[in-house]
Amino acid sequence: MAKRVLTTESGAPVADNQNSATAGVGGPILLQDQHLLEKLARFNRERIPERVVHARGSGAYGYFEVTDDVTGFTSADFLSSVGKRTETFLRFSTVADSLGGADAVRDPRGFALKFYTDEGNYDLVGNNTPVFFIKDPIKFPDFIHSQKRDPFTGKQEPDNVWDFWAHAPEATHQVTWLMGDRGIPASYRHMNGYGSHTYQWTNAEGEAFFVKYHFKTNQGVRSLSADQAAELVGKDANSHQTDLLQAIERGVNPSWTLHVQVMPAADAADYRFNPFDLTKVWPHSDYPLQRVGRLVLDRNPDNVFAEVEQAAFSPNNFVPGIGPSPDKMLQGRLFAYADAHRYRLGVNHTHLPVNAPRTAVVDNYGRDGIHATRNGSRHDKNYEPNSYAGPAQTGAALAAPLAIHGWTGTHEAPAHAKDDDFFQAGELFRLMSEDEKGRLVANIAGGLSQVTRDDVIEKNLAHFHAADADYGKRVEEAVRALRED
């Protein structure tokens, strides 16, 4: 069998890939060695900017299969009939650490799912927790700065982490999640995924509903203690990537069952919690889980860079029947995610195979830019409307319109009957067993006791006291004991 010919980027054959061209034997290298210069220049540019958040990730392809009729709530075609399957790509990730970080750390996990539907790609960008630390996107850069490496010390600092939380009482609910037993999943296969935000579904009659997504792992939830995680990181920093890769290669395909909570749009105004507040959940007693379908991962990427690092998810990628809600964090992410990918990957990142639609035809007037692959021809116009049979609008909205009223300005979110920053954190604490409470308190105290400023410690303790008297008392005593040692 003939060997393949090594070529330059322009396709010219390479004569010698072992020796650089020099001025005589042992002489200096020649600037005219095009192959050497191209090879070194390309090598220097192999890395693209890593994600500011969710840098460390793993991913796999699979499918979503509808198991229950939800056409009464949404007209989305990929959910239109029981048994219908849609190809998917799911990217898991940690949030705070860099690309070289370890997998088994205490951190929320990204759960970003791309549906390659017949009506275009639908991206559902969530986490493995149903809530988040903040409720307004204007605080997001500050929050992330506080959680990532300090500019001076070059490492995550408890002073920064807890100082931000001291000034963000709404974070108490998510802190309770993060410091609890589910803060370090045993693997990506053994954790739930959530849309976290509130989204809008619209049915064929134009009726609007607000929904929350819950992907329940069919492998069972399994988590690691802090000691177990530290031991695992020492053995394999890529533990979750290893587990996911090997499971799928063995044919042990992980799966999740998708449920949704459905709220009629008319309920939102008078619901006891603000239904668009990302720091809150909807109790299942108010809006029970309704099964939708099954997500299965059955194929590993062939190239991690091309298919995991270059995978781009944008929550503004909706399909007919699904749209946004007034959730302020979601509203901010509708811009921020796509803009991050335009910076990292270029304006034409949607042309990359992992991001391109599978069956839907892309037909618009986007042109040019770095890495453009769809530039049109002499017969195509790059403006609209035109008289040359170019693509035109449908006039059909993706989702129902949202009613708005009031004055423009920098308003706080509207308060509902039970809207405070601590009630649901207290409810979560009270649901825990004694053993779970003990581990939660130990995890919080381990970090909070390292804070150097007493006032920052006191502010955080006040949040736990406000959530539940016993919760606050236990954390305060544990912090005091550690600081006295």
The pairing of beta strand 255-264 with beta strand 120-127 = unpaired
Provide the 10 A C-beta neighbour count for residue 452: 10
Q: Enumerate residues 6+ apart whose C-beta is below 8 A from 485.
A: none
Query: Bridge-partner residues for 86, per DSSP?
Result: 64
With beta carbons less than 8 A apart as the criterion, state whether 421 and 172 touch.
yes
Tell the burial category of 396 from Cβ atoms under 10 Å away from its Cβ (0-12, 13-18, 19+): exposed
The pairing of beta strand 85-94 with beta strand 199-202 = unpaired
d(CA 357, CA 114): 10
d(CA 59, CA 307): 8
Please say whether the dihedral angle defined by the alpha carbons of residues 356, 92, 50 and 107, taken in this order, is positive or negative: positive
d(CA 180, CA 169): 18
Q: How far is CA 341 from CA 73, 351, 373, in A?
A: 32, 12, 17
Strands (E), 108-238: 109-117, 120-127, 193-194, 199-202, 208-217
Q: Kindly report whether the peptide bond that precedes residue 137 is cis, defined as omega within 30 degrees of 0.
A: no
d(CA 199, CA 80): 18
Q: Which two tokens stand for residue 291?
A: 């099964």
d(CA 158, CA 460): 12
For residue 304, give the DSSP letter.
H
Helix (H, G, I), strand (E, B) or coil at 90: strand
Strands (E), 54-171: 57-66, 85-94, 109-117, 120-127
Buried b (16+ CB within 10 A) or exposed e, 472-482: bebbbebbeee
Q: How far is CA 201 from CA 128, 282, 328, in A?
A: 22, 17, 17
Catalytically annotated residues: 54, 127
With beta carbons less than 8 A apart as the criterion, state whether 352 and 310 touch.
yes
d(CA 295, CA 256): 5
* 158-166 helix and 434-448 helix, angle to the nearest 10 degrees: 110
